[in-house]
Amino acid sequence: MYETKNPQLTPELYGYVLDHNPPLDPIERELIEVTHRSLADVSGMQTAEEQGPLLAFLVRLTGARQIVEVGTFTGFSALSMARALPADGRLIACDISEEWTAVGREAWVKAGVADRIDLRIAPAIDTLRALPGGSWIDLVFLDADKESYIDYWEELLPRLRPGGLLVIDNTLYHGDVADPAATGGGAAVRAFNDHVRADDRVDDVLLTVADGLTLARKRP
């Protein structure tokens, strides 16, 4: 029998969590509000608010200078990570939507980090396959189409430096991963999770952060 120590995440408790995380600055807050106001039908794709400070923390913790993000949407996660980069750091952001990423571009300029973000509009798998070989990426954030997660993983992991970190979002997929009969995105993420667990190139942990967050460290 599995038992959880996780308390029920009520709105009050979620508010408490946000209040005790590093606060978002006005530009980050505005970006979230603009996304929910102007793209209400798809705003659920935005990275959870508490994940912004977490991503920035991980960038600083790993000393990352070279980041690849797959799935940028309106740029909140890219903004969070770019701000934590050193001045000579670089983030390659992969997305297919000029419309959605235009919202992010404005925020990046306001925040003074646009020069650190190299936005590439194309199918992400094509962008990743065109990246240089070798082990040069320090940190990856993956939050894109779930059916392609394994393909992205296989392109990114060989390019990740030993000790580098992959951060993968939505690895609980609304709870569907626990259902062997899941279809669509749930089935794809379930297969991805099994793929990661069986991969002896990494140490990994799946966390109940937002809709599930997997951290995978490339073994030396």
Confidence (pLDDT) at 2: 83
pTM: 0.96
Confidence (pLDDT) at 1: 67
Q: Give the count of domains, the chain.
A: 1
Pick from 157, 211, 164, 213: nearest CA to 61:
164
Q: Mean pLDDT throughout 187-212?
A: 98
Q: Mean pLDDT throughout 167-195?
A: 97
DSSP string spanning 51-63?
HHHHHHHHHHHHT
What average pLDDT does the chain have? 97
CATH number at residue 212: 3.40.50.150
Q: Mean pLDDT throughout 139-168?
A: 98
Determine whether 211 is exposed, middle or buried from the number of CB atoms within 10 Å of its CB (0-12, 13-18, 19+).
middle
For residue 91, pLDDT over 80 is answered with yes
> Residue 104 is part of which domain span?
48-218
Judge whether 16 lies within some domain.
no
